[in-house]
Amino acid sequence: MLVTIALLLSLNAASAAFLSGAGVALRRGNGPVISAQSRIAMVAKQTPHGGKLIDLFVHDKEAAKAAADITVELNDRQSCDVELLCNGGFSPLTGFMNEDEYTSVVQDMKLPSGLIFGLPVVMDTADSNVKVGSKLLLTYKGTDMAVMTVESAWEPDKPKECLSCYGTASIEHPGVRMVAMERARKYIGGSLQGLGVPTRDFPCATPKGGARHAPRQCRR
């Protein structure tokens, strides 16, 4: 174990020295440059992003569901976002980003708190009945996944989002194509109460027996 740790530290140090000497850095679109040292430090960090692993699943699921006034069937992409928000995969987020958080991430690749966050995580809808204050029961193929309290609703500047996040407005880019053609015109943000996780057609195998594990389970 000690040999393995020492080897990893040596590789990290060597990588940092090499990348620093070569002047290698990453830029997301036209956003800020991220140095090699910063990237290595982020990878090596053992604490959850933001310092706390989020878990949004509630014990009293029936009470949470009873408060919902609109049912929304999620698509594949939205259901994955909901699952990652609820199980802490998108820590420190406690729901879909509101307009201020979205704007901060698009412009500066950071949450308003200053914490780095690479891409916006938003819910989209074409339902005119969904407004600020609505409580949405989010379902996916027969599974009640979460209840969302809508706290923010806006129409984003999608060309700006694409240029800032992906560095291009070309529809050939999969991210641009998703924003332009898959996401609805209106974005909504708000907190989530997790209810359940669906059985997916594409289960993700993990080293722990081949089953899908949430971030908290992988840390045991």
List pLDDT tens digits, range 52-104.
Answer: 899 999 999 999 999 999 999 999 999 999 999 999 999 999 999 999 999 99
User: Are 78 and 34 part of one and the same domain?
Assistant: no
What is the DSSP secondary-structure string of 116-166?
B--S---EEE--TT--TT-EEEEEETTEEEEEEEEEEEE---HHHHHHHHH
Distances (CA, A) of 206 to 37, 192, 212, 214: 29, 26, 6, 10
Residue 199's pLDDT is 85
Residue 33's pLDDT is 64
**Does residue 55 fall inside a structural domain?**
no
Residue 21's pLDDT is 43
**Does residue 220 fall inside a structural domain?**
no
**Does residue 35 fall inside a structural domain?**
yes
The residues near 101 (Cβ < 8 Å, ≥ 6 apart) are: 111, 112, 120, 189
**Does residue 37 fall inside a structural domain?**
yes
User: Are 91 and 7 part of one and the same domain?
Assistant: no
> Cβ-count burial of 47 within 10 angstroms (0-12 exposed, 13-18 middle, 19+ buried)?
exposed
On whether the CB atoms of residues 138 and 190 are closer than 8 A, the answer is no
- Please give the tally of structural domains in the chain: 2
User: Are 27 and 113 part of one and the same domain?
Assistant: no
User: Are 19 and 119 part of one and the same domain?
Assistant: no
**Does residue 157 fall inside a structural domain?**
yes
User: Are 6 and 84 part of one and the same domain?
Assistant: no
- How far does the chain reach from its first CA to its final CA, in angstroms? 18
**Does residue 212 fall inside a structural domain?**
no
Residue 200's pLDDT is 78
Q: pTM for the whole thing?
A: 0.75
Show the domain range for 130.
61-199
pLDDT tens track, the chain, 220 positions: 443 444 344 444 444 443 444 444 555 555 566 666 665 555 445 788 888 899 999 999 999 999 999 999 999 999 999 999 999 999 999 999 999 999 999 999 999 999 999 999 999 999 999 999 999 999 999 999 999 999 999 999 999 999 999 999 999 999 999 999 999 999 999 999 999 999 877 665 544 444 556 676 665 5
